[in-house]
Structure 1
């Protein structure tokens, strides 16, 4: 979907090889400047303009025109460059308008090489300005974004260049206008044409690029859930520990490859020799290389991905899959050994001569020995795989960022409110009985694609049945509070709000960290009136945002509407709920996640059994977790029952209060 930006708005760029297309009502000069981490242009060699149209990773037009196509390869820019600003200016001289207010508003689009629009911006509101900084591509936390700027300059090109810190800006502006007036050369050629099968025609000067390996499938929003087609138990996979597939990188470019910016005529070859269209290969390991015949030492982030967070996410996913398949292979081998032993015993005992005497005992002993030998060999393989996964976990766990880390990870002591939303959030840990100390983080993608039901019933599991009812309800609410705190902590300031329905006021103690820090959107709602008010408020928000999205009229939303993400915590359900409230709750569970309203239920299903089929869809639509260890979750490959344990704050630790205090301070410093 194309992002239609307004002045000051930004959007994440999904790729780094781009075109910037400019359409104007009259000829304009198009250029671009490179800026360092402070936005400063360090010299004239950091300015692409008609007199010098090519820089590493950047090419602009050599003449004034009503339509331009600028070629950008962000990966080919110098390492010191953190910003690319696209500039538009009106040509000087007779016959040209002197101000942008006298011409149609320019339109700028950032597109992929196939022409798919990523973001667009119409530069409205210009008047006496004769030059304008249209938009900028900037690097933030390892990723590239585009921001709509629209900053005009009545002083023209010279004033704009001087504002970016360039010395002798007036001289460069004059030389740019002279180059335009002289008509030095052609404009940038359009992208190569597409063949009927969708492939681009490459520049004849370079060899055809090697076909890119297909990108690995993107992991789902969560590793556990509904029914999927799973391979047979014990099936092998090509993924090594860490989830990598070992895809080969494309071959190196030959000497004849013409990279963007190469001298000579003809169309640009957009196939940058150092760039892949599929996900990048794992980074080279930083640990010492392994001895011959030994597995490579584990490395944190040793998986595919464009950023360290994405590589760690994919590595955890790969560890989870590897553990599932390794245990499946072991269990399958044990089943085979036991089945073979039973078959051999049946054959031996079917012979009357073996039913009595030493022959029968010998046959039984041989069958059992074979079974034990097969089982021992299977266990040896499993122990080797588990040891490698344990070593990988020992390296990965300390390297996790705060959203992926447990509360006992020291990374939380250096916590700062983030500027951007991470990929995922840690919900708890998973393990199998074959090795209970090998824990795999359970990560859910953000924004949440489904709500969560924390089951506070004693019938949920054996561990729950052994826990007192009051203590179980307190643990369930504690889990809800820590999950809400993690969500507040990983969102940028004031982009996530938490609402609480506590009809009987039974959760006041558990809610104390949130209420004391002042991070709730409003005090917890009490009684039937409070339930009705909160549900009506959130239902109205969902209705309004849905209508605006469907009508393409986001600007028509009421000014008092908070468009950030919202979480509703419901405690003690169904106390205080009537039929209308239950219907609204189901509506929020079904329609809310798509427009940023998420549901967190803390309830015992047995208490709500009177609602029967009305509640069943709500129950099925939410991810059910428990406040105590439970093995009700299964993986999508071989169907193991994984033991889930929620994230708990260590005893006597103040990390939760410290994190919430920083969240509250950031919210006060940035009131929106």
Structure 2
């Protein structure tokens, strides 16, 4: 049965050898890009286009035509490739053809088996000023391949599309593709290879795309470094940003599936101030080991059982980190597909009802009632079909969460995870930290751990305002402040627990002494560097000490004189928890706080504010840059974290210690004992 996809919807692929058939009302150019687990295209050698039509497992046409057939062999894809994007573009530069997809019939794309049986189809509706579009993506997930309808258009054409995929040579490559099409390479297209008795396309040896200096048709430059791109966009209205993103563990070779001929270059001792090895002690320059194989399916046609750590990476921590972000992406996309289908069903019903009402004869009587009932029935059927697809994906995600959550290390695990019962102070800092859970209203039962990379790149703001309550149940300002401080203590305790002994230090400013009860676990176990500072004098002393530390480290780094730091200088990461801001802060203290927020993270000084922004409004716009620089978290569930990637607002739930649990005290006791041993 053919799956008729809407934008954002996916469908499993049961065959590895496929054809992608494209039909359009005008000649168009077809191309494809290969990308890794992060969605990065590492160079022009990862792009199949009319000037270089073949890559391992992939072949596109050399011509611009109204109909295309792209050959895909997923089994022949290099291990480094996890996604194939199918691109369509209107030829540029001839001055005769259309310049935007809105002026032509909507392109139609079908994924078929080699016998011509359609697996999935997608009509690219809604395009207007765009002249290039990502039509489909084939992506690898848990050892299996799926197809997703994308339909992302670009008014800037191929150059803008390729730039968005991270290619530094995007404009040169786009010009080369248009030149190859304009030069009429279609005249030399070979006849399609014969089919075997089974209807299979015979394999052809795939050669890498060549640049113009190597005999290739299109001018291409050597692949350059691709900057890391986070799939999560700008901040939300409250400064909420989903940080992190999948790990790209190692530099990939310049061409998928081939070794990298260039060795890794280390900094020169003459320029770095000494022989420094910047490589991770556990990492090698070789490719990471493959993930463990997925368990066999429970029955024919059923998806494979989820396996914890099935993503790529050198260590299990890296694999689990990437798997968690893969789960986040799957939930985001399947929910986006459901919402899109519901919107389509509602818009179609509204249109049909409008047509009924526009005819005076259909407003009354049995004919009008029947038309309205038919429109509502179509709407309900479409919504039910979309919900069934969503539920099917949620069942798989739930099953994956059930095997992933118990396998998480302490840095990624919730406080109720049994892994904390066997906690030992680590010898190495983890790559990420769990700050809470994320979920969407359509799938509240599927909770995705919210992981942020370490060391922290921005400070945290624990919102103690009553407006932070998701359901409005918390109306007592004192109760919300108490919960906010408990959340801050839980985050600080986790940061202490996941760092090696002596490599993380916590300071607390509590001007009025109002947080004595929530701070009891930190104070009682002795993990704080000094007792919580109170009063205006205590605030000034702590801020002066930390700002001086930032200044000293910055000067040492700029002068390449790390050895010149004072004897006994504490080189550990520093965290400052500020409670009840702005009480106890004068203008000088506020400026010092802003300085720490701006300059501190680069030299290992981090800020955690527990504050109600409304109470700070007296400072006016002076504090706006401070709030924007912090990641806003709440002590109660709140749907404030923005996800411009697919347009969702995620509900954040803090990672709090279960009521009555002694896990926090037990963990901090071990941290304090390890710190004492380290100081001896």
TM-score (norm 1): 0.60
Q: Deviation of residue 296 (structure 1)? A: 1.5
- Structure 2 distance, partners of 1:648, 1:461, is 15
Preserved CA contact (<8 Å) 2:642 2:648: yes
Q: Deviation of residue 517 (structure 1)? A: 0.3
- Structure 2 distance, partners of 1:217, 1:388, is 33
Give the RMSD, CA atoms, in angstroms: 3.2
Count of matched residue pairs: 429
User: Aligned residue for 1:315?
Assistant: 323
SS in 2 for 1:670: helix
Q: More deviation in 479-488 or 467-476?
A: 467-476
Q: Deviation of residue 288 (structure 1)? A: 3.1
**Alignment of 1:453 onto 2:443:** no
Q: Deviation of residue 649 (structure 1)? A: 1.0
**Alignment of 1:639 onto 2:647:** yes
- Structure 1 distance, partners of 2:554, 2:578, is 23
- Structure 2 distance, partners of 1:225, 1:490, is 28
1:214-268 CA distances to partner (integer Å, 9 max, x unpaired)? 9998674x9575279xxxxxxxxxx99xx9xxx9x97699xxxxxxxxxxxxxxx
Preserved CA contact (<8 Å) 2:504 2:573: yes
Return the match for 1:382 from 384, 387, 390: 390
Q: Where do 1:46-57 residues align within 5 Å? A: none
- Structure 2 distance, partners of 1:435, 1:668, is 46
Q: Where do 1:330-479 residues align within 5 Å? A: 330-463=338-471, 466-479=474-487
Q: Where do 1:490-529 residues align within 5 Å? A: 490-529=498-537
User: Aligned residue for 1:141?
Assistant: none
- Structure 2 distance, partners of 1:433, 1:402, is 27
User: Aligned residue for 1:554?
Assistant: 562
Preserved CA contact (<8 Å) 1:402 1:412: yes
1:264-293 CA distances to partner (integer Å, 9 max, x unpaired)? xxxxxxxxxxx9978547413252345332
User: Aligned residue for 2:665?
Assistant: 657
The 1:438–1:502 alpha-carbon spacing in structure 2 relative to 1, beyond 3 Å, is same
Q: Where do 1:531-546 residues align within 5 Å? A: 531-546=539-554
Q: Where do 1:556-635 residues align within 5 Å? A: 556-635=564-643
User: Aligned residue for 2:495?
Assistant: 487
Q: Deviation of residue 637 (structure 1)? A: 1.1
- Structure 2 distance, partners of 1:595, 1:216, is 25
- Structure 2 distance, partners of 1:524, 1:276, is 43
User: Aligned residue for 2:334?
Assistant: 326
The 1:276–1:335 alpha-carbon spacing in structure 2 relative to 1, beyond 3 Å, is farther
Q: Deviation of residue 380 (structure 1)? A: 0.5
Q: Where do 1:257-276 residues align within 5 Å? A: none
Q: Deviation of residue 541 (structure 1)? A: 0.3
- Structure 2 distance, partners of 1:463, 1:601, is 23
1:394-424 CA distances to partner (integer Å, 9 max, x unpaired)? 0100000000000000000000000000010
Structure 2 segments unaligned to the other structure (5+ residues)? 1-209, 214-222, 238-244, 260-282
- Structure 2 distance, partners of 1:408, 1:670, is 29
Q: More deviation in 292-301 or 420-429?
A: 292-301
Preserved CA contact (<8 Å) 1:225 1:623: no
The 1:550–1:215 alpha-carbon spacing in structure 2 relative to 1, beyond 3 Å, is closer
Preserved CA contact (<8 Å) 1:224 1:633: no
- Structure 2 distance, partners of 1:346, 1:378, is 24
- Structure 2 distance, partners of 1:576, 1:512, is 21
TM-score (norm 2): 0.59
Preserved CA contact (<8 Å) 1:634 1:641: yes
The 1:225–1:282 alpha-carbon spacing in structure 2 relative to 1, beyond 3 Å, is farther
Q: Deviation of residue 636 (structure 1)? A: 3.8
Return the match for 2:235 from 226, 240, 243: 226
The 1:395–1:469 alpha-carbon spacing in structure 2 relative to 1, beyond 3 Å, is same
Preserved CA contact (<8 Å) 1:464 1:472: no
SS in 2 for 1:403: coil
- Structure 1 distance, partners of 2:505, 2:472, is 31
Q: Deviation of residue 323 (structure 1)? A: 0.4
- Structure 1 distance, partners of 2:368, 2:294, is 59
Preserved CA contact (<8 Å) 1:424 1:446: yes
SS in 2 for 1:404: coil
1:449-472 CA distances to partner (integer Å, 9 max, x unpaired)? 000000001123454563311111
- Structure 1 distance, partners of 2:491, 2:655, is 8
Q: Deviation of residue 294 (structure 1)? A: 1.8
- Structure 2 distance, partners of 1:355, 1:661, is 75
**Alignment of 1:648 onto 2:656:** yes
User: Which stretches of structure 1, 4 residues or longer, exceed 6 Å deviation after superposition?
Assistant: 213-217, 249-253, 275-278
SS in 2 for 1:437: coil
1:317-349 CA distances to partner (integer Å, 9 max, x unpaired)? 111111011101100100000000010111122
- Structure 1 distance, partners of 2:433, 2:532, is 25
Preserved CA contact (<8 Å) 1:463 1:628: no
SS in 2 for 1:563: coil
Preserved CA contact (<8 Å) 1:457 1:604: yes
The 1:311–1:300 alpha-carbon spacing in structure 2 relative to 1, beyond 3 Å, is same
SS in 1 for 2:639: strand
Preserved CA contact (<8 Å) 1:215 1:278: no
The 1:606–1:252 alpha-carbon spacing in structure 2 relative to 1, beyond 3 Å, is closer
The 1:524–1:277 alpha-carbon spacing in structure 2 relative to 1, beyond 3 Å, is closer
1:159-193 CA distances to partner (integer Å, 9 max, x unpaired)? xxxxxxxxxxxxxxxxxxxxxxxxxxxxxxxxxxx
Q: More deviation in 333-342 or 465-474?
A: 465-474
- Structure 2 distance, partners of 1:422, 1:461, is 31
SS in 1 for 2:529: coil
The 1:464–1:604 alpha-carbon spacing in structure 2 relative to 1, beyond 3 Å, is farther
- Structure 1 distance, partners of 2:426, 2:285, is 29
- Structure 2 distance, partners of 1:655, 1:461, is 26
The 1:667–1:392 alpha-carbon spacing in structure 2 relative to 1, beyond 3 Å, is same
Preserved CA contact (<8 Å) 1:423 1:445: yes
Preserved CA contact (<8 Å) 2:415 2:663: yes
The 1:340–1:642 alpha-carbon spacing in structure 2 relative to 1, beyond 3 Å, is same
- Structure 1 distance, partners of 2:503, 2:234, is 28
- Structure 1 distance, partners of 2:497, 2:467, is 33
- Structure 1 distance, partners of 2:369, 2:376, is 11
